[in-house]
Structure 1
């Protein structure tokens, strides 16, 4: 009588057969099937990235993935509407899609170590927002002030030290944590104590962090989407408010009547999905292409 194959070998052979079958079906067959379906007429353009072509057939962008309209030094090109910030790689990189992963509690900058070559430190989310708002305000000729931001564009945050535990008693020392010496702090005094600038290596972790709102308007002139990146870092749209903020600058750079540019913006506003989901948006690439046609 022939000996039977041990059960453990039969089990492993069955598992191997199942692995091979499902590898072929799900690892090869299914992806190829989906790829074939995606290339059907009506689906091909979207599946391939919704690329936008110019009159010569060259790809100039995508309706689904944002892009920067800046020069080689990263400065905004005045004749184009600008996109919102991106934290995806060096900006709008589909292979590195991500957010900054910084939240509301990111208010204290990491100062650069002077002993480390090319160390630039690390901005907190608050300072990044403040700096962007000041820069956009300057570019668009409006007030870039925001609550909890200094006039210089950093987070208005103090480390306040007390003479008793639990942040009790008298204030003994105050440091403006995001203003590196020899900068002059945005406040001269706090609770009767002179405010100091911050130096690298000065540990202020024992102080109570106090964010100072300042006198900026409750609704800043620079919209929120102009100073914050989307969760994916690839958002191709901006708010109508941000587009309208840029209209005068773009009109001047293109030699167009501001009313014409504002009308272009209004014509490119997309309403909420199914009437109530999300917020109205403007696709920056589509708007800039329409602007180029109007400027000819």
Structure 2
């Protein structure tokens, strides 16, 4: 019967049969087979999202996705080990996973100029973000938050140095602290014998020679790098053991526990290097409910703004 059909019709029927076969195999059989395998013992928890629950068995997040442990005003809660920063959406948004895409050359802040736009165009440079985070961690955890090329106020210590000659030659005529907007007092009094001034919105920063001032910060900052930089995905729930160690004293003090006890719990929940040699040992902060931390149920997983923190 099909032999009597025109060639184009036979081709369409063959394509339809292939479509039906692949729909059954790829669209039904394969997903059901994978679902069945995922329900095997040892795999089911991961397949279901690696959900973390509190002491009452209520879901509070996923051990695969980080979240912020903050109060209603956005301030870090002292009772909890804090996660590393996140550049994914408003923070740890799995629908907007990303990095900041800012590099080491991003050291100059942008200040909003209401004369040119009604939108807020202000933006912190990567350097200032790192400086501000390091200072905040230092204050919260009682450690030295100073970092090279950061001011004591927590912004990038960057100068724009203007010269009398062409390019960057000749005597210095003007020096501006590019990340300190007037009337802020500059972090440095003079440079090259010239007084340092705060930045105004009319300063042409690009015309000056960019100079970073290292300052007197220790060569190896007390605040580790993962405490001040976001991960590539913005979703990592792990922090380094160095960052966990920095937070032990604060968490122990806030919970009324001996620091040695909290440190032993951290060590018990530390994961070693992948395959024994890849990466560094890390601590998953989403496992805090297993460290004795109790969280109330959240309306949506992975949304720290919807998580209600309650006492243990």
Q: Given the two structures, how large is their TM-score scaled by the length of structure 2?
A: 0.84
Instruction: Sort the Cα spacing of 1:170 and 1:37 in 2 relative to 1 into closer, same or farther, 3 A.
Output: same
Listed one character per residue, the Cα deviations across residues 169-218 of structure 1 (whole Å, up to 9, x for unaligned) are 21121111111110111111111111111122422111111111111001
Instruction: Sort the Cα spacing of 1:172 and 1:16 in 2 relative to 1 into closer, same or farther, 3 A.
Output: farther
The equivalent of 1:101 in structure 2 is: 101
Instruction: Sort the Cα spacing of 1:206 and 1:33 in 2 relative to 1 into closer, same or farther, 3 A.
Output: farther
After the TM superposition, which residues 261-276 of structure 1 pair with which residues of structure 2 at under 5 Å, given as runs?
261-276=262-277
The equivalent of 1:283 in structure 2 is: 284
Q: For the aligned residues, what is the CA RMSD? A: 2.7
Deviation at 1:111, TM superposition (A): 0.5
Q: Does residue 217 of structure 1 match 2:218?
A: yes
* SS at structure 1 position matched to 2:149: coil
The equivalent of 2:43 in structure 1 is: 43
- 197-206 or 71-80, which moves further after superposition? 197-206
The equivalent of 1:73 in structure 2 is: 73
Q: Given the two structures, how large is their TM-score scaled by the length of structure 1?
A: 0.88
Deviation at 1:62, TM superposition (A): 1.3
The equivalent of 1:167 in structure 2 is: 168
Number of residues of Structure 1 aligned to a counterpart in Structure 2: 292
Q: Does residue 247 of structure 1 match 2:259?
A: no
Deviation at 1:227, TM superposition (A): 0.7
- 264-273 or 67-76, which moves further after superposition? 264-273
Instruction: Sort the Cα spacing of 1:203 and 1:256 in 2 relative to 1 into closer, same or farther, 3 A.
Output: same
Deviation at 1:117, TM superposition (A): 5.8
Q: Give the Cα–Cα distance (whole angstroms) in 2 for the partners of residues 28 and 269 of structure 1.
A: 40
The equivalent of 1:187 in structure 2 is: 188
Q: Give the Cα–Cα distance (whole angstroms) in 1 for the partners of residues 165 and 89 of structure 2.
A: 46
Checking the alignment, whether the CA contact within 8 Å between 2:53 and 2:289 is kept in structure 1 is no
Checking the alignment, whether the CA contact within 8 Å between 2:272 and 2:280 is kept in structure 1 is yes
- 70-79 or 200-209, which moves further after superposition? 200-209
After the TM superposition, which residues 5-44 of structure 1 pair with which residues of structure 2 at under 5 Å, given as runs?
13=12, 17=16, 20=19, 24=23, 26=26, 30-31=30-31, 33-44=33-44
Instruction: Sort the Cα spacing of 1:210 and 1:32 in 2 relative to 1 into closer, same or farther, 3 A.
Output: farther
Checking the alignment, whether the CA contact within 8 Å between 2:248 and 2:259 is kept in structure 1 is yes
Deviation at 1:42, TM superposition (A): 2.8
Q: Give the Cα–Cα distance (whole angstroms) in 2 for the partners of residues 141 and 56 of structure 1.
A: 33
Q: Give the Cα–Cα distance (whole angstroms) in 2 for the partners of residues 264 and 42 of structure 1.
A: 24
Which stretches in structure 2 are left out of the alignment for 5+ residues? Answer: 295-310
Deviation at 1:72, TM superposition (A): 1.1
- 189-198 or 31-40, which moves further after superposition? 31-40
Checking the alignment, whether the CA contact within 8 Å between 2:54 and 2:289 is kept in structure 1 is no
Q: Give the Cα–Cα distance (whole angstroms) in 1 for the partners of residues 18 and 167 of structure 2.
A: 61
